[in-house]
Amino acid sequence: MPNLSSTLDTFPASRIAVVGDLMLDEYLWGHIERISPEAPVPILSVTHRASTLGGAGNVAENLRHWGATVTLIGVVGQDETAGQLRDLLQSRGVNAKGVLTDPLRKTTRKARLMSVEHGQQVFRLDEESTVTVKGEIENSLIGAIRTLDQNIQAIVCSDYLKGVLSEKVLAAVFEAARSRGIRCIVAPKDSSAEKYRGANILMPNSTELRQMTPQRASQDANQEAWLDASARSLVEALSLEALLVTRGSEGMSLFENSAGGLRRVDIPTMARSVYDVTGAGDTAIAAFSAAVASGADLGAAARLANLSAGIKVGKRGTACVDLEEIRTSLREVRAPHDSV
């Protein structure tokens, strides 16, 4: 079995392109001390705020946090949120030349109102445009994808259904990956599985898998049998190399197409405590893609993704996971079938 710590050592040398929906995650922290006289709702007296990268930006930030070289392609509006987002990308060292500006678009912003006393979210406000890109903007995205550096080792598509990953844009991504002989890994959100035909690997959660395979989604069915049948159906329908299903408290299940048929590997969750699941999927696909780009086998990549996500949910907000935290977790679990 591969040495997982050695795989982590290769993360800083990886070169990855991230294509998808960009967003700004804003956190407004404050105290709740009284109820509004205008309506039966609490008043949050804001004391401080912070903004972080969300969506495809969070995937890019995680990769950069581990030292990887990242090229980002997406679309923002011509507004204050876009300015904040670009400043954050620049400060993280992300190559954002492929981030286009659409003056008619509103940059996605998710503002979370957080209670200091309770340490949790009490309200969320979203501002966004979700219309699918078309015309000049869509063509420019395709142009940026076709001219990606030849040294890219993997492409990640982060789909949050905000309109960037149109069918034509995805087709250009899949063609770019094929022409370079590299893998394209997709975090899907669309219930139309056909949209992702051409990807090498899909990373849905259980809910997303259920939405893509509705004919097998009976709530009364045995869940393990449903998972096997749904995974097989999707892998065969889209000719996937693999499917990695994130299953919350049940960990992850990797379904890998092999000469001997579809091979399933279940990876139990490594999360010790769950404070905030925000961005856990972004962390998982970042770790998985960095491992894949570094040449790790898919089983090793999935285990590192699972470890990273398990650490992430123990943090507040979209805080990044350190490589040393993953190494520490590896030393602690020391599964007998893993070399650490």
| Region of 261 on the Ramachandran plot (φ > 0 left; ψ -120 to 50 alpha; else beta) | left
Span 191-203, average pLDDT: 96
Q: How far is CA 258 from the centre of its chain?
A: 25
Number of domains comprising the chain: 1
Q: Is residue 124 part of a domain?
A: no
Domain limits at 251?
A: 4-24+54-108+130-333
Q: Is residue 117 part of a domain?
A: no
Look over the chain and give the mean of its residue pLDDT values, rounded to a whole number: 90
In this predicted structure, the answer to whether residue 275 has a pLDDT above a threshold of 70 is no
Span 123-142, average pLDDT: 96
Per-residue pLDDT tens digits for 223-260: 888 899 999 999 999 999 999 999 988 889 999 998 88
Q: Is residue 32 part of a domain?
A: no
Q: Tell me, what's the pLDDT at 276?
A: 57
Instruction: Identify the CATH number of the domain in which residue 183 sits.
Output: 3.40.1190.20
Q: What are phi and psi of 321, to 5 degrees?
A: -100, 130
Q: Is residue 197 part of a domain?
A: yes
Q: Is residue 165 part of a domain?
A: yes
Per-residue pLDDT tens digits for 70-96: 999 999 999 999 999 999 999 999 999
The three state secondary structure string of 293-310 is HCCCCHHHHHHHHHHHHH
Q: Is residue 38 part of a domain?
A: no
Q: Is residue 139 part of a domain?
A: yes
Cα–Cα distance measured from residue 296 to residue 283, given in angstroms and rounded to the nearest whole number: 17
Q: Is residue 251 part of a domain?
A: yes
Q: Where does the pLDDT of residue 294 fall: very low under 50, low under 70, confident under 90, or very high at 90 and above?
A: very high
Catalytic annotation, residues: 282
